[in-house]
Amino acid sequence: VQLQASGGGLVQTGGSLRLSCTGSGRSLSIYNMAWFRQAPGKEREFVAAIRSGGGSTKYEDSVKGRFTISRDNAKNTVYLQMNNLKPDDTAVYYCAADSPPVAVYSALADGRFYDVWGQGTLVTVSS
């Protein structure tokens, strides 16, 4: 599978963006999917993940209540709805796929389990 991330841009503090990650070559429904981000000068960090069945999600603490990950299998796309954005959310956002999907819930946040990565989309939040 190949992943194409899109939807990044420049937004003011408090604004919203929706990122999309579209798969090609294979259905994303069989993968655990996740979003990670990397800010300038910082290491990559986990943002959110959704299980292959779609019923279970996991979020990094700083985005809980503001970000929502979802998937639309018919469109072969995973979304990250980001609300109430803050300057600290500024980063390149990457989507990733994990197959075979890891069963341990805590492992959803571990980038080492993800096999395929998209190219990244830049989100800039101005203060």
Listed in sequence order, the residues at least 6 apart from 102 whose beta carbon sits closer than 8 Å to its beta carbon are: 32, 108, 113
pLDDT digits (tens, 9 = 90+) for 85-108: 999 999 999 999 998 888 888 899
CB 56 within 8 A of CB 66: no
| Nearest by Cα to 79 from 104, 54, 115, 46 | 54
User: Is the bond preceding residue 40 a cis peptide, omega within 30 degrees?
Assistant: no
Strand partners, 40: none
Using the predicted structure, report yes or no on whether residue 29 has a pLDDT greater than 90.
yes
Express each pLDDT in 37-93 by its tens digit.
Answer: 999 999 999 999 999 977 799 999 999 999 999 999 999 999 999 999 999 999 999
